[in-house]
């Protein structure tokens, strides 16, 4: 495989990952759904060895640069994160106020019908668009891409104004999620 080519998640490597909601549904416009993501990421950091170097939660997808500490495997942690958050957010949609409930549940149901792995509802698109980090330049290109995402979407004028992003961490500001900043930290590239 060529450097930077899309590949599966491996053990003990750092990856740029994108998790996307099926049909690009803007689900993370509701605070309860965003909090489900943040709480689950915090749990994975504490209990599943997840190390997050950079992240941004947009309205319909999540970007991360991450790896896991041994004995955990990144592919397993991400799989479990996706499974748990899908169930949690589907439950929130069904049991909490949601004006788009019928439309969203129909979309998740239709997506599941096209999948061999999902029974009733499919929340996340298949795959993680995982790209293994391979150089210092690539890492910083991805960090900048992640942090600039809300600016490109015209949600904010400065990256650190987006609350659900590690741009605040890199500016030494209060943040909703702690990360391991890549400043002088050495990442091993395979």
Which residues touch 79 (CB under 8 Å, ≥6 apart)?
Answer: none
Q: Per the confidence metrics, is the pTM higher than 0.75?
A: yes
Cα dist from 39 to 29, 36, 142, 145, whole Å:
16, 5, 24, 24
Cα 90 → chain centroid: 17
* pLDDT at site 5: 44
Question: What is the Cβ-side half-sphere exposure of residue 113, based on CA atoms within 13 angstroms?
Answer: 6
Q: How far does the chain reach from its first CA to its final CA, in angstroms?
A: 12
**pLDDT score, position 118:** 79
111's CB contacts (< 8 A; 6+ apart) are 22, 23, 118, 121, 122
Q: Which residue has the tokens 């900048």?
A: 144
Beta strands in the chain (DSSP E): 15-20, 50-57, 61-68, 131-132
Please give the C-alpha separations between residue 17 and each of 8, 11, 76, 106, 166, in angstroms, as whole numbers: 10, 14, 14, 27, 14
Closest CA to 44 of 7, 72, 11, 16: 72
> Burial, 185: exposed, middle or buried (Cβ in 10 Å; 0-12, 13-18, 19+)?
exposed
pLDDT at 6: 45
Domain 15-170 grouped into CATH 3.30.530.20: no
Q: Is 159 helix (H, G, I), strand (E, B) or coil?
A: helix
Per-residue pLDDT 10s for the chain (190 aa) are 444 444 567 657 899 999 999 999 999 999 999 999 999 999 999 999 999 999 999 999 999 999 999 899 999 999 999 999 999 999 999 999 999 999 999 999 999 998 888 789 999 999 888 999 988 899 999 999 999 999 999 999 999 999 999 999 999 999 999 999 986 554 555 5
Domain boundaries, the chain: 15-170
> What is the Cα–Cα distance from 28 to 169, expressed in whole angstroms?
21
């Amino acid at each position: 495989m060529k450097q930077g080519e899309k590949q599966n998640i491996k053990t003990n490597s750092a990856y740029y990952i994108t998790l996307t909601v099926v049909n690009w549904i803007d689900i993370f416009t509701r605070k309860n759904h965003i909090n489900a993501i943040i709480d689950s990421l915090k749990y994975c950091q504490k209990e599943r060895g997840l190390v997050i170097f950079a992240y941004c939660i947009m309205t319909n997808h999540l970007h991360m640069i991450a790896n896991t500490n041994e004995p955990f495997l990144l592919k397993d942690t991400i799989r479990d994160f996706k499974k748990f958050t899908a169930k949690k957010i589907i439950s929130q949609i069904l049991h909490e106020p949601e004006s788009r409930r019928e439309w969203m549940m129909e979309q998740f149901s239709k997506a599941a019908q096209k999948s061999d792995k999902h029974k009733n509802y499919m929340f996340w698109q298949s795959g993680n668009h995982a790209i293994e980090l391979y150089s210092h330049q690539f890492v910083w290109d991805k960090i900048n891409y992640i942090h600039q995402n809300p600016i490109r979407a015209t949600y904010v004028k400065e990256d650190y104004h987006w609350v659900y992003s590690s741009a605040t961490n890199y500016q030494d500001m209060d943040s909703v999620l702690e990360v391991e900043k890549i400043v002088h930290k050495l990442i091993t590239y395979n």
